[in-house]
Structure 1
Amino acid sequence: MAKGKAAKKKQPTASDRKRTVLKLVLSDTCAVCKTPCARGLRYLASMRQPGAVGRGVPCILTRTYL
């Protein structure tokens, strides 16, 4: 290398970064949550409608990193 030139920094690729994983929780879990979030409350309200079919909502409190 010549004087005065800095080595290029390696850009992190998608596989090098931390991946976050959120667990899917159902409305009964959101109903008893100690720290309710806006997403959970909105899901809980929609599940109270007659005929609602729920598939769960990602819970920010169950976040883990891979």
Structure 2
Amino acid sequence: MGKKKKIVQSKEDKYQHSWKIVLSDKCEVCTTQCTRGLRYLQKMSVPGSSGKGVPCHLTKGKAMK
């Protein structure tokens, strides 16, 4: 039998399951905009685009207001 490869996750994606999903309106007013949020904002600025949100690293373990 061969050995199974261990999937290596980046630090950013390690806790993604516990982050809250935010929409572009929250990313737009965020004071510390991340690259993931900025890419999502750029994608949503195209007319007719639809999205499901993006995980926010600032909401890890916090309640988003």
Q: What range is the shorter-chain TM-score in?
A: 0.5 to 0.7
- Which structure has the highest helix share of the two? 2
Aligned-residue Cα RMSD (Å) equals: 1.3
1:60 and 2:64 matched: no
1:47 and 2:47 matched: no
User: TM-score w.r.t. structure 1 length?
Assistant: 0.66
How many residue pairs end up in the alignment? 46
Identity, % of aligned positions? 57
Name the SS for the 1:35 alignment partner. Answer: coil
What stretches of structure 1 of length at least 5 have no aligned partner? 1-18
Name the SS for the 1:45 alignment partner. Answer: helix
- Which structure has the highest strand share of the two? 1
- For 1:9-62, what per-residue CA distance to the aligned partner results, in whole angstroms no more than 9, with x for missing partners? xxxxxxxxxx94100000000000000000000000000001100100000000
What stretches of structure 2 of length at least 5 have no aligned partner? 1-13
